[in-house]
Chains A and B, each alone.
Chain A
Amino acid sequence: MDVLQYSPQNLSEPPSLYPGYVSTVPRSPRQKLVSIPQTLTEVTGPIDFGDRVLRAPVHDMTRQGKGDPIGERIIVSGRILDDRGRPVPHTVVEVWQCNAAGRYIHKKDQHDAPLDPNFTGQGRVVTDAEGRYRFVTIKPGAYPWRNHHNAWRPAHIHFSLFGAGFATRLITQMYFPGDPLIDIDPIAGAVPADARRRMVSRFDIDTTENEWALGYVFDVVLRGRDATPMENPL
C-alpha cells in the first residue's frame, strides 16, 4: 500500500540540541534521526476523538472562575492551514498560558507572582469548516526562568495542534508583536529568525471589539499532503 505523504519537515525547525537552552543538552539525541517513509501509521492520526476523550471546549478563559480574572482581556483568532493554504477543519487546538502576572497554576512554578483565583490558563477550541478558531483570554505576563542570569520568557500562549495525521502534530508558542524579549529568548531563538516571525501574532483592529478587548491574529501552518504521491523511497 502506497500512501500520499505529508510534506517534509521544515528546514527552519529548531534543532533538538540548542545549548543556549541549557536543558536541551542532556535531553537531545546525539545519533542522527532515522528517516523513514510515511506509512499508514504516520498519515493517519487522532481525529474526531475530541468529544470522546478530551475535556469540554473552553472558548472563553475569562469565564472559568466565579469572578473576572485580573489583566488585559484579549481575543485570539486565526486559521489553521496546511502549507498549500488549505484550511484544516474540525481540528482540536489546545492552549495554555500563565496569568497576567506571569504565574502558572503548577506546583513547580516558583515565580514570586500572585495566582489568580479566577484564571486557570487552559482552553480548548475546535476549528470550523474554514479552519478558523477564536478564544478569549487574558494577556499573559512575562516570567523568569532559571536558564541563565536574568532570563525572562517573552509573553506567550502555548498551542497544541493535531491536523490530519500523526505526522502533522505540532506544539508551538504564540508570541506578541513588539516584545523585546523574543529575540533574546533561547527558546524562540532556537528557530532561525525568518521562521521565528511565524510565531509572532499580529494586532488586528478587525478582531478587536469596541470598548471590550484587543484582538490578535495567529495563523498556524501545518504540514500538508503532497500534490502527487512521492516515489517510494524503499
Chain B
Amino acid sequence: MNDVTAPPRLGLTPWQTVGPFFHYALPWEGGENLVREGVQGERIVVRGRVLDADGAPIPDALVEIWQANAAGRYDHPEDCQADRPIDPAFIGFGRCPTDDDGMFAFHTVRPGQVPGPGNSMQAPHIALGLFGRGLLRRLVTRIYFPESEGNAVDPILGLVESDRVGTLMATREGEQDGMPVYRFDIHIQGANETVFFDV
C-alpha cells in the first residue's frame, strides 16, 4: 500500500505510559467543558468510569475526547464541508483525569453526523483516547448514542462483532440541569471488555 519509490520512512518515536504523575502538567481548568456561551446544538453530559480487569476503578487514568460540533463539522483544515459551519463557541477537544472512583465527565454537545469512507455517513460519535499508569500506549474507542438513526449503517460499527457493539453505546442516565446525561463505562478487560480500535 505504501509508495515504494518514496524515501524510506523514519522510525516512529514509540509510545510510553503517561505514568501516575501527570496531574500537575496535563489537566487544565475547565478541560472537561467543551462548550462556551451560545453554543449551537443540544448540550449533553457524558460521564463514566474507567475499570480494570477486576472491575476496580482506575483513579489515575486520563481521558481525552475529540468530536464534531452539532452540525457535523470538525474545526480542522482537513474538514472542507463548507455547508456546515464551524461553531466558535464549541471546542471539539476535551481532557479529564479520572477521580478516586475512576469517574470522568464531559460537558459537550450531541455531535452531528460526519462523512465516512466512500459515500457513507457515520452515526454521531465521540472519539476517545484513554491514558494511564499501566497503559503503555493509548487505548482508542468511540462513544455512540443508542437512539441515533445512523447506527445501523455506521461503517465503523459494521466492523465490530455484533455481540460487542453494545460496549460502544452510551446509556441514557437521566438529566442534569435539563441536559441529557449519558453513561459510558470503559472496561479495559474482563467479560464486558470495551471494543478498542487500531487506527
Interface residues of A (CB under 8 A from B): 1-3, 7, 9-10, 12-16, 18, 21, 23-31, 33-47, 49, 52-55, 81, 83-85, 94-96, 98, 104-106, 108-109, 120-123, 158, 160, 164-167, 169-173, 187-188, 190-191, 194-196, 198-199, 220-224, 226-228, 230-234
Q: Compute how far the CA of A120 lies from the CA of B197 in the bound complex, rounded to whole angstroms.
A: 35
Q: Given A37-B117, A41-B66, verify A14-B136 contact (CB < 8 Å).
A: yes
Q: Given A47-B76, A54-B28, A187-B136, verify A198-B21 contact (CB < 8 Å).
A: no
What residues on A are CB-neighbors of B193 within 8 Å?
A: 29-31
Give 30 A-B contacts (CB < 8 Å), ordered by A residue. A1-B116, A2-B117, A13-B14, A13-B137, A14-B15, A18-B136, A24-B135, A25-B53, A26-B53, A27-B189, A28-B188, A31-B193, A33-B198, A36-B159, A40-B114, A40-B122, A49-B93, A53-B93, A54-B28, A84-B9, A96-B25, A123-B25, A158-B19, A158-B22, A160-B25, A171-B15, A187-B136, A198-B12, A199-B14, A227-B6
Is there a chain A Cβ closer than 8 Å to B147's Cβ?
no
Q: Compute how far the CA of A52 lies from the CA of B64 in the bound complex, rounded to whole angstroms.
A: 16
A31 touching B13, Cβ below 8 Å:
no
What residues on B are CB-neighbors of A228 within 8 Å?
A: 3
Is there a chain A Cβ closer than 8 Å to B139's Cβ?
yes
What residues on A are CB-neighbors of B45 within 8 Å?
A: none
CB distance from A173 to the nearest CB of B (A): 4
Q: Compute how far the CA of A220 lies from the CA of B70 in the bound complex, rounded to whole angstroms.
A: 35
A36 touching B189, Cβ below 8 Å:
no
Q: Compute how far the CA of A77 lies from the CA of B54 in the bound complex, rounded to whole angstroms.
A: 42
Interface residues of B (CB under 8 A from A): 1-3, 6-7, 9-26, 28, 30-31, 52-54, 56, 58, 60, 64, 66-68, 74, 76, 78-79, 91-93, 114-120, 122, 125, 127, 129, 131-139, 142, 155-156, 159-160, 164, 188-189, 193-199
B188 touching A39, Cβ below 8 Å:
no
What residues on B are CB-neighbors of A226 within 8 Å?
A: 1-3
Q: A40 touches which one: B115, B137, B196 (CB < 8 A)?
A: B115
Binding site of A, secondary structure by majority: helix, strand, loop or mixed? Answer: loop
A108: nearest chain-B partner, CB-CB: B20
A106 touching B23, Cβ below 8 Å:
yes
Q: Given A44-B78, A234-B155, verify A98-B52 contact (CB < 8 Å).
A: no
CB distance from A102 to the nearest CB of B (A): 11
B16 touching A14, Cβ below 8 Å:
yes
Give how many A-B residue pairs fall within 8 Å (CB-CB): 258
A46 touching B14, Cβ below 8 Å:
no
What residues on B are CB-neighbors of A49 within 8 Å?
A: 91, 93
Q: Given A27-B53, A28-B188, A40-B114, verify A222-B12 contact (CB < 8 Å).
A: yes
What residues on B are CB-neighbors of A43 within 8 Å?
A: 78
B11 touching A158, Cβ below 8 Å:
no
B188 touching A29, Cβ below 8 Å:
yes
CB distance from A58 to the nearest CB of B (A): 10
A84 touching B24, Cβ below 8 Å:
no
Q: Compute how far the CA of A24 lies from the CA of B139 in the bound complex, rounded to whole angstroms.
A: 12
CB distance from B107 to the nearest CB of A (A): 13
What residues on B are CB-neighbors of A18 within 8 Å?
A: 136
What residues on B are CB-neighbors of A198 within 8 Å?
A: 11-14
Q: A39 touches which one: B2, B31, B114, B195 (CB < 8 A)?
A: B114
Additional A-B contact list (6), CB under 8 Å, known A26-B52, A230-B1: A12-B11, A27-B135, A40-B114, A96-B24, A187-B17, A234-B118
A161: nearest chain-B partner, CB-CB: B13
